[in-house]
Structure 1
Amino acid sequence: MAEQMSEQEMKNLVGRYQQYQYQAEGLMQQINIARTSIAELEKAIHTIEELEKTDAQKDTLVPIGAGSYVHASLTKPDSVLLGVGAGVSLEKSNTEAKTILSKRKDELAKLVESMSGTVDKLGKEMQTLQAVFQKYAAEEQQAAASQIPQAY
């Protein structure tokens, strides 16, 4: 009876291990998405800084996607249309835009740090469970070996 109980407990632990594994994988995907967003924010901030140094009348290349560009002249190099969500954009000064983008980047960096900490905790829990699994397997092997009749 006790063996069945420990077997049921082991099944519960395996279920918990799998749950931790799925959580860790999901968090890693979110971390990767957040890191991509951070890189995009850094690129936007850098672009604004470079545009501030550019003469408004100077010809500029503007990316249109798929590695393609068009020639353009800046008509309002001192402002940026900044996406604020739900397809809405607001015109902001370069300084305001950089401040907002930097704040977003910092918030994402904190989120990545928090999620990374959670992944680390899940990893430690998984290591603990692996040790329990190994101990259980060794005990089962020992119990099976003691059941084998000895030849004299």
Structure 2
Amino acid sequence: MNNMENKKQEELQQVVGELREAQQNVEILQSQSEELKNSINEIESTKETLEGIEEVEAGTELLVPLGSGSYLPVEAHKPDKVLMDLGADLVAERSPEKVSELIDKQKKDIEGSLEEIQNRIKKLNEKIEELRPKAQELIEEAQSGQQTESEQISDREG
């Protein structure tokens, strides 16, 4: 293999490496995007539940999900406080209105993060589309170079 072929082989390896890395990054970002979308759905569900609870009359029986298909029947009263998870095993009492404001802010923050991730995915996909033809061209050059070598060897043997 001559010096030119070595350089082409190195360039091909570099392009293929960049292509793989970009594809892996897209997969990671798509997974993060799905997680953020799930968080947004959870926030929207919480918001709907908060709004629905305000309309429930005192004394109405509600079923609180415990998990694994189990529910606890409870009697509703007009909620004047909601317990909100602050993280790190901390919980705070907040008014339903305050919780609604806080989850609206969370949703807005998550939507901003989701938009950033989607922009990064778009840029990576553009890079992938740019690298694919270059990789294909280098592969074809490498294959035609191998065919030429084979032909030269055949000519020498013949």
| Secondary structure of the structure 1 residue equivalent to 2:100 | helix
**Aligned-pair CA distance for 1:76:** 5.3
| Secondary structure of the structure 1 residue equivalent to 2:47 | helix
1:135 counterpart residue number: 137
CA distance in 2, matches of 1:22, 1:15: 11
The count of aligned residue pairs is: 151
| Secondary structure of the structure 1 residue equivalent to 2:35 | helix
Q: Unaligned regions of 5+ residues in structure 1, if any?
A: none
Aligned residue type for 2:66: I
Aligned residue type for 2:124: L
Structure number with higher relative contact order (C-alpha < 8 Å, ≥ 6 residues apart):
2
1:119 counterpart residue number: 121
Write out aligned runs for 1:47-58 (5 A).
47-58=49-60
TM-score by length of 2: 0.87
Aligned partner (choices 28, 42, 58) of residue 40 of structure 1: 42
Measured on the aligned residues, the alpha-carbon RMSD in Å equals: 1.8
Q: Unaligned regions of 5+ residues in structure 2, if any?
A: none
Q: Deviations over 1:24-54 (max 9, x none)?
A: 1111111111111111111111100000001
Structure number with bigger Rg = 2
Q: State percent identity of aligned pairs.
A: 27
CA distance in 2, matches of 1:11, 1:137: 10
TM-score by length of 1: 0.90
